[in-house]
């Protein structure tokens, strides 16, 4: 009797493997969960020796087209084998290596909030453990296809960013833009990528009825907008940023912080930051605004 079982045809979609690595506390679990929610077959803390087998299963299984796994410092001494294993797997299947990073101060704060021990143990401080972890992961970092510093992301923003980057979304969705206003007398924000000085605009602080208002007040906004240099500045800076952003995206930058400063951070910088945010959103980018110094004295 002949078998009626049909042979499986060729796979319509080439399998893909995403390997997540990086510093402890940088959000690897959040990223893995976001990928799982997006349809990836997800595995956490798979022993390094089993990764080639897992990759073969992903190639052969008709039910798995996209898979994701985490490799990190919990592997211990075996971690040094990972670069060679990665090179071998890449000969068989497309692999994207995602390295998650965060500033030391952010990692220390996260450990303080969760009160979890660092994977390298409790015999030394968390700060020393982070330093040692960076050292051990450096050879792997150099192999990464995409590196993300999660310091600025909330959990929800990180999940959204991963979904946007791994779901074939528009290029504009692949970068988060933070627009700041600040006062130079209170210092330039340390996390600024681009800083623009708007103190060349006439200062509403010298108009008595505007002194205790902000650049978000309609009357103050009309006053600042009434100067032709204001209109031209907003136009020129918007055009510059809209030109630059695709190049930042192409280089793999995951976020950009743009800061506008005036003297006290209450009037001109506030108005300009709001205007630039609107222009960027109109161009299709996702932007948020933060007026750092509104609560401080002028």
Which residues are CB-neighbours of 92 under 8 A, at least 6 positions away?
55, 56, 59
Closest to 203 in 3D by CA, of 271, 152, 291: 271
Residues whose CB falls within 8 Å of the CB of residue 2, separated by 6 or more in sequence, listed in order: none
* pLDDT score for 140: 93
Say how many CA atoms lie within 13 Å of 125 toward its Cβ.
6
Looking at per-residue pLDDT, the higher value among 1 and 113 belongs to 113
3-state secondary structure of 72: coil
Q: What is the pLDDT of residue 5?
A: 40
Round the average pLDDT of the chain to a whole number and report it. 88
| Mean predicted confidence (pLDDT) in 222-244 | 96
Instruction: Dig out the tokens for 196 from the structure.
Output: 């623009």
Domain spans, the chain: 16-169, 174-291
Strands 95-101 and 16-22: parallel
The tens digit of pLDDT for each residue in 250-260 reads 877 878 999 99
Distances (CA, A) of 32 to 12, 49, 136: 25, 20, 22
From 106-120, 186-200, 232-246, the region with the lowest mean pLDDT: 106-120
User: What confidence tens digit (pLDDT) does each residue in 135-176 have?
Assistant: 999 999 999 988 999 998 888 889 888 887 776 556 666 788
Q: Could you report the per-residue pLDDT of 12-47, keeping only the tens digit for each?
A: 456 788 999 999 999 999 999 999 888 888 988 888
β-strand partners of 261: 182, 197
User: What's the CATH fold of domain 16-169?
Assistant: Rossmann fold (3.40.50)
The predicted model scores a pTM of 0.61
Q: Where are the beta strands (DSSP E) in the chain?
A: 16-22, 41-43, 66-70, 95-101, 146-149, 176-183, 194-197, 255-262, 286-291
């Amino acid at each position: 009797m002949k078998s009626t079982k049909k042979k499986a045809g060729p796979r319509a979609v080439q399998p893909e493997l995403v390997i997540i690595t990086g510093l402890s506390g940088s959000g690897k679990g959040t990223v893995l969960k976001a990928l799982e929610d997006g349809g990836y077959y997800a595995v956490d803390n798979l022993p390094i020796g089993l990764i080639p087998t897992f990759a073969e299963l992903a190639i052969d299984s008709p039910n798995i087209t996209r898979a994701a796994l985490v490799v990190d410092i919990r592997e211990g001494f075996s971690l040094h084998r990972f670069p060679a294993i990665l090179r071998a797997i890449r000969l068989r299947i497309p692999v994207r290596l995602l390295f998650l990073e965060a500033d030391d101060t952010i990692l220390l704060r996260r450990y303080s909030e969760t009160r979890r021990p660092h994977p390298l143990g409790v015999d030394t401080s968390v700060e020393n453990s982070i330093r040692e972890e960076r050292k051990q992961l450096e050879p792997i970092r150099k192999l990464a296809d995409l590196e993300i510093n999660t310091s600025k992301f909330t959990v929800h923003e990180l999940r959204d960013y991963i979904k946007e980057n791994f779901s074939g979304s528009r290029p504009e969705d692949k970068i988060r833009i933070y627009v700041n206003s600040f006062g130079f007398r209170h210092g330039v924000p340390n996390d600024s990528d681009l800083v623009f000085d708007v103190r060349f605009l006439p200062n509403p602080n010298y108009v008595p009825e505007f002194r205790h208002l902000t650049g978000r007040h309609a009357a103050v906004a009309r006053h600042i907008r009434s100067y032709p240099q204001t209109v031209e500045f907003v136009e020129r800076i918007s055009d510059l940023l809209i030109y630059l952003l695709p190049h930042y995206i192409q280089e793999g930058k995951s976020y950009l912080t743009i800061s506008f400063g005036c003297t006290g951070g209450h009037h001109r910088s506030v108005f300009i930051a709001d205007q630039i945010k609107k222009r960027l959103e109109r161009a299709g980018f996702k932007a948020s605004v933060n007026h750092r110094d509104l609560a401080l004295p002028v």
